[in-house]
Structure 1
Amino acid sequence: MTVAKLDFFGTDGIRGIANRFPVTPQVALTLGRAAAHVLAGTSDRQPKVVVGGDARMSSNVLKMAAAAGFSGAGANVLVYPTLTTPALAQELLLQGVDCGLMVTASHNPPEYNGFKLFNARAQKLSTEEELLIENRLKALLEQAAHDDWESSIGKIEMQSDCHAYCEWLCRSLAGHDFGGMRCVFDCANGGACFVAPQVVSRLDLDAVWIGNHPDGNNTGVGCGALHPEALGEAVRSHRAAIGFAFDGDADRLVVVDEEGIALPGDLLIAGLALMLREEGKLVENGVVLTIMSNLGVVNYLREEGMQVTLTDVGDKHVAEAMRANQWSLGGEESGHVILGDYAPGGDGLLVALHLLRGLQRTGLSLRELRERIPLYPRRLCSVTVTEKRPLEECPHIQGAKHAMDETMAGKGRIVVRYSGTEPKLRVLVEAQTSELVEKSLERMLQAIEKDLTLCR
C-alpha cells in the first residue's frame, strides 16, 4: 500500500518556527476553516470546537487566528486560556464537541510553534484525516485572496479556565490519600504552569514548584523534560521523595527518584505495567511500546509473561495499536505514556499522579525498578541535515545498516529515522555491550556523511 506524502503534517501535527510558513497566522486561520470542513462539517447541528495554546509568545495570535477560521466556517468556538494539550483534549470530551486544535510545539525550543488537531473522540488524526485536511488547506490557501467564506458565522466564547479537566483528573484518583508526600514539579515554563497547581492544590501533597515562571520566551529553556538535571537538583535540595518534569504542553513526563536520578521512559512504562497487573487492570497483560524502546525492557516484560507490541515512533501510533488490541497501557521512551482507561492520549500530570498512587499502593520503589530491570547500553545521536533525502536512496546508510543488522542479530539493533518535527536525522544504537554500541555508531555516522550533507 502506498502511503500518501504529507507536506504540512509531520510526526505530531504541523510544526516549525513561529511566523515562518507554515506556522503563520494566515495558515492558522485557513487551517481552522479547513478543519471545520473536514472534522466538524458532517454533523446535522452547528459544529462546535475547542481551541487552546501553550505558554509561548506566539501561541495567542495563532490560537485566535485558528479560532477565527473555525468561526468563519460556521463553527461555534470555545477558546481556552493557556493550558496543556491533555487538558484541552479532555475538555473536548467533557464538552462533547466535534474537534479541537492545540497551538503548541511541545518540547521544541520557544521560537517554534505548531498545531495539533483532535477528532471528536480526542484522538490524534489518522493519516487519512490529515491528508483530507491538508488537501483542503492547500486549496483554501490558493484561493484565499478572492474567496467568499461560508454564509454563517459561529460564536466565539472565551473560557476562563479548564475547571472540568481538573475536576475529572482528581476524580480519577478515587480519593487516594497521598499522606503529604513531598514532590517536586517542573512545569517547563509551559502550559503546566497554569494547570498543574490547580490539580495538585486539591490533593494531600507537599508540592515544590520549579520551571513555573513563563514569560513567553522561556518554554523548556534549561528546565522541563529535556533538562531533568534541574529537577534532580531540586529533589535533592528539598529532600523530596520524587520529582516530575513535563514538556511545553505536558503530554510528556520524566520522573526523578529521591536520589535525583532520572528514570528512563521505558522503565516508567514497565513500572506502570507491573502496578497495573498487580491491581488486575492491565488488560490481557498487554503493553504497546515503540521501535525506540530499550530491548532490555522489552525482553523483561515478555519474560514476565506480558504481551508486547512495537510500533513506529509517535504516540499516535501507540494509541492506534492500543485501540486495535483494546489494551490499557502504552508509551514511548521519550516519556509519552497513555493510560487508556482514563485518556485517549498522553497526559503527563495524569500519569505522574497515578504513578505516585501506584507506588504507594504496591510498595514498589523507583530504585527497585532500576535494579530489577536490566537496560541494554545505547546511544542516541542526532545530526542536522540540509535536506531529508529518502533513506532508501542512501546506499551507504542502507549498506551499513544491513551489515549491522546481521552482526547484531539477537544482540542489539540500530534504528535510523528522520525527526518528524526538526531537520534532523536520529540514530539509535543498542546492544548487549557498550563496545559494540560505539563501534556501530561510528560506522553509521561515517555512512551518513557519505550520503547526506550535514549542517556544521
Structure 2
Amino acid sequence: MVRKYFGTDGIRGLANGDKLTPELALKVGMAAGTKFVRGDHRNRVVIGKDTRRSGYMIEQALTAGFTAVGMDVYLLGPMPTPAVAMLTRSLRADLGVMISASHNPYEDNGIKLFRPDGYKLSDEIELEIEGLIDSDMSRHLAKGKEIGRAHRDEEARTRYIEYAKRTLPRNIDLAGLRVVLDCANGAAYKVAPIALWELGAEVFTIGAEPDGFNINHKVGSTAPEAVAAKVKEVRADIGIALDGDADRVIIIDEKGHVVDGDQFMAVIAESWMERQMLQGGGIVATIMSNLGLERHLTKLGLTLERTQVGDRYVLEAMRDKGFNVGGEQSGHIILSDFTTTGDGLVAALQLLAVLKQKNVPISEICSRFEKVPQLLRSVKFKSGKPLEHKQVMQAIADGQAMLGNGGRLVVRASGTEPVIRVMGEADDAVLVETVVSQVEAAIKQVA
C-alpha cells in the first residue's frame, strides 16, 4: 500500500501547503486518537512542539481532533522530540505527539507520533491511521462528558532537565568545562542551557532567541559555522550544535573543526566497551555512514550493522538484534539505555563525560579513524520517479562497477523532501568524484 501522508519520519511538509494543513492535523488527531483510545481510563496524549510560528496552528488543530474523540490533551509547549518520547512514558500517556520539521526551514512543519512506550509508530500502524484519516470519522466522536479536555503542563520542562542530568555518570560533573551550545533557535532553547549549567559547565549559548521564523537559520547542526566561530572566539573546550527539535547533535572541537556522527559513535562505542556497557558486539548505523567507521570497528573486534536511512530503522535494528548504541552520520545518536529516539543533549552528555575522564582535547578524543573519501550530492526534482528511469539505472550500475568491491555507491530518494541523494565512497577520491558526477548528471537529465 502506498503511503499518502507519512514519510520516513512522520508527516512533514510546507505548513498550509498541499498536505500539512489545519484540516489534516484535525483529522490526524481524530484518527490517531481513535487508534490509541483503549481501556476504561481517561485516555491522554502529550503534545510538544518546536518554535515555528505554524506550531500554534497545528497544536490547536491536533488538540481539537484528540479531544473530539475523547482524549485528554497535555500541552508541553516547546520541548525536544526526545523529551516528548520520554514524557509519553513518564506521564503514562496513551500517545505522544511532536510538532516539528526537525532541521527544515521555518516554513515547513511536521507531526511525529509516539506509542505509549515512547517508540515511534511502525509502518503498519501509520498505514492504519492513514486509512482512518480518509474514512468517515463521525462515528468515533465522543459525546457529552466523554469529550476530552486540554491542560498546559508547566512541570514538563523540569522533568526532562532532571532526566537528562541523571544520564551523566554519577561521579562526573562538568565543572571547569567551557561549552558553546547552539540550540538552533529551536525546541531545546530553554532546557539544554539549564541542564549543562546545572551540571557545572560554563555555558556560552547561541541560537536561543527564537522568534517563530529563525529556527535553523544560520545556526544549529546544519550550519555549524556559527558555533565553530563562537568556540574559537571564547576559546571553548567544545561546541555542541543541536537541530530544531534537538534529536540530533553535531560536535565542534576546540579548533573549530566539525565532528560528525560517525566519529561520535566511534567514541561512544569505545567508551562503553571499556566500561563493559556496550551490547550487541557493535553498533548500528545507516548505509550513509563512512566506510572508515566500519573498518575501525572491525579492528576493535566490533561489528557495524547497517540499515536504510532514518533513525527509526536504526532503532528497529537495535531492538531486534540487541544493540544499545546506534545512529546516523548526520548526528542522530540513539543510546537505548537512556532513550527511545535520538537525543542530542543526552548524547552530548556522554561525550562530555569522556572529555572529563580523559582530560585531553576533544579533537584528540574524536579522531578515532581516518575517513574514506566520501562525496554526497543532492539533486532536486519536481515530480515523477527519476530513479526508475532506464538512463539513471544504467548510470548507477556503471558507477557501482567502476567502484568495485572496495567502494560503495548509495543513491536514494529523500523521505522528507523532493531530493535524490547520491553518495559515493572509495579510497580513490578522484574515482569517487567521477562516479558521483556521472550519476548526478544522469538524474538531472531526467528530473
Which whole-Å CA distance do the structure 2 matches of 1:166 and 1:370 have between them? 26
Q: Which moved more, 1:284-293 or 1:248-257?
A: 284-293
- Residue aligning to 2:233: 237
Match of 1:41 among 37, 43, 47: 37
Match of 1:150 among 136, 139, 142: 142
Match of 2:354 among 347, 351, 358: 358
Superposition pairs of residues 296-375 of structure 1, within 5 angstroms: 296-363=292-359, 365-369=361-365, 371-375=367-371
Superposition pairs of residues 225-264 of structure 1, within 5 angstroms: 225-264=221-260
Which whole-Å CA distance do the structure 2 matches of 1:408 and 1:441 have between them? 10
Which whole-Å CA distance do the structure 2 matches of 1:207 and 1:220 have between them? 20
Q: CA deviation at 1:22?
A: 2.1
Q: CA deviation at 1:412?
A: 1.1
1:28 matched to 2:29: no
Give deviations 1:258-281, integer Å, cap 9, x for gaps.
000000211111111111111111
SS state at 1:387 partner: coil
- Residue aligning to 1:6: 3
SS state at 1:356 partner: helix
Q: Please tell me whether the aligned partners of residues 388 and 418 of structure 1 are also in contact (alpha carbons under 8 angstroms).
A: no
Superposition pairs of residues 193-204 of structure 1, within 5 angstroms: 193-204=189-200
- Residue aligning to 2:432: 437
Mark the CA change 1:378 to 1:202 in structure 2 (over 3 Å): closer, same or farther: same
Q: Which moved more, 1:152-161 or 1:429-438?
A: 152-161
1:179 matched to 2:171: no
Which whole-Å CA distance do the structure 1 matches of 2:340 and 2:185 have between them? 25
SS state at 2:134 partner: helix
Which whole-Å CA distance do the structure 1 matches of 2:153 and 2:93 have between them? 14
The number of residue pairs the alignment matches comes to 443
SS state at 2:204 partner: strand
Q: Please tell me whether the aligned partners of residues 237 and 362 of structure 2 are also in contact (alpha carbons under 8 angstroms).
A: no
Which whole-Å CA distance do the structure 2 matches of 1:68 and 1:197 have between them? 33
Which whole-Å CA distance do the structure 1 matches of 2:384 and 2:167 have between them? 43
Q: CA deviation at 1:428?
A: 0.7
Give deviations 1:335-393, integer Å, cap 9, x for gaps.
000011000110001111111012322456542355440101111111110114162x2
Mark the CA change 1:378 to 1:156 in structure 2 (over 3 Å): closer, same or farther: same
Q: Please tell me whether the aligned partners of residues 388 and 423 of structure 1 are also in contact (alpha carbons under 8 angstroms).
A: no
- Residue aligning to 2:280: 284
- Residue aligning to 1:386: 382
Which whole-Å CA distance do the structure 2 matches of 1:408 and 1:148 have between them? 56
Match of 2:265 among 263, 266, 269: 269
Q: CA deviation at 1:41?
A: 2.0
- Residue aligning to 2:120: 124
Q: Please tell me whether the aligned partners of residues 267 and 368 of structure 2 are also in contact (alpha carbons under 8 angstroms).
A: no
Q: Please tell me whether the aligned partners of residues 184 and 243 of structure 1 are also in contact (alpha carbons under 8 angstroms).
A: yes
1:57 matched to 2:49: no
Which whole-Å CA distance do the structure 1 matches of 2:435 and 2:308 have between them? 22
Q: Please tell me whether the aligned partners of residues 94 and 164 of structure 1 are also in contact (alpha carbons under 8 angstroms).
A: no
1:399 matched to 2:394: yes
Read off the aligned partner of 2:308 and give its amino acid letter: D
Q: CA deviation at 1:238?
A: 0.5
Runs (5+) with no aligned partner, structure 1: none
Which whole-Å CA distance do the structure 2 matches of 1:416 and 1:369 have between them? 32
Read off the aligned partner of 2:353 and give its amino acid letter: R
Which whole-Å CA distance do the structure 2 matches of 1:427 and 1:43 have between them? 48
1:414 matched to 2:409: yes
1:79 matched to 2:68: no
Which whole-Å CA distance do the structure 1 matches of 2:415 and 2:330 have between them? 14
Runs (5+) with no aligned partner, structure 2: none
- Residue aligning to 2:420: 425
Which whole-Å CA distance do the structure 2 matches of 1:177 and 1:370 have between them? 20
Q: Which moved more, 1:422-431 or 1:365-374?
A: 365-374
Read off the aligned partner of 2:122 and give its amino acid letter: S
SS state at 2:334 partner: strand
Mark the CA change 1:185 to 1:378 in structure 2 (over 3 Å): closer, same or farther: same
Give deviations 1:5-26, integer Å, cap 9, x for gaps.
2011011100011112321111
Match of 1:139 among 135, 139, 143: 135
Read off the aligned partner of 1:272 and give its amino acid letter: I
- Residue aligning to 2:12: 15
Q: CA deviation at 1:50?
A: 0.4
- Residue aligning to 2:217: 221
Q: Aligned-pair RMSD on alpha carbons?
A: 1.6
Q: Please tell me whether the aligned partners of residues 109 and 220 of structure 1 are also in contact (alpha carbons under 8 angstroms).
A: yes
Give deviations 1:420-451, integer Å, cap 9, x for gaps.
1111111111111210111101211222133x
1:164 matched to 2:156: no
Which whole-Å CA distance do the structure 1 matches of 2:75 and 2:21 have between them? 18
Give every structure 1 segment of 4 or more consecutive aligned residues whose post-TM-superposition deviation is greater than 6 Å. none
Q: CA deviation at 1:59?
A: 0.5
Which whole-Å CA distance do the structure 2 matches of 1:284 and 1:139 have between them? 43
Which whole-Å CA distance do the structure 2 matches of 1:372 and 1:81 have between them? 39
Which whole-Å CA distance do the structure 2 matches of 1:410 and 1:368 have between them? 31
Read off the aligned partner of 1:26 and give its amino acid letter: E
Read off the aligned partner of 1:159 and give its amino acid letter: D
Which whole-Å CA distance do the structure 2 matches of 1:45 and 1:438 have between them? 59
Give deviations 1:308-327, integer Å, cap 9, x for gaps.
10000000000000001121
Read off the aligned partner of 1:329 and give its amino acid letter: V
Read off the aligned partner of 2:243 and give its amino acid letter: D
SS state at 1:139 partner: coil
